[in-house]
Structure 1
Amino acid sequence: MTNDPTGGDLVAGGGAVSEKKLGFFGRIALFIRQILAELRKVVTPTRKELAKFTSVVFVFVLIVIGIVYGLDFVFSWLARQVFGIPG
């Protein structure tokens, strides 16, 4: 919120000032222009960065698989002990 220089009231200062309301197709065109502007900001990773990111995700998934497998093994062993199921 910032001070309004004309009246001294507080006004929201985050958006663009719109002088007139846009119609349906004007809003769609504005939306598409904003999408294209955001897509121009996207930086594609290099081949080396992509390989590094992929390996980090792969290692993380393997670690999570190991944790889930370990917990499953422990809980199934515990359930067999509690309920007397031969295993």
Structure 2
Amino acid sequence: MKVKKIPLRMCNGCMEMNPKKEMIRIVKSPEGEVSVDLTGKKSGRGAYICKNLSCLEKAFKNKRLNKNLETNIDENIYETLKQEVTNVR
């Protein structure tokens, strides 16, 4: 049987490669709107964060999401991500 390749993505917080399904995607749509994409299927430029509060805080402290998505991230996106990370546990 053929072994299926698992897609890996880099976390913007800890900078480690993890399976795509274990991460949260933040997407910037072609219109420039930033949102949290829990399905991983929205169109646009994506950035990934581990489901870990420390990774989320590192990414925001170092402004890695802003650099990766080439835009400024609002506080409400940060709060939504924080709720998602705390609800996972």
Which interval holds the TM-score relative to the shorter structure? Answer: under 0.3
Tell which structure's C-alpha radius of gyration is larger: 1
Higher fraction of helix: 1
Give 1 or 2: higher strand fraction: 2
Q: What is the TM-score of this pair, normalised by structure 1?
A: 0.24
Higher relative contact order (CA 8 A, sep 6+): 2
Tell me the TM-score normalized by structure 2.
0.23
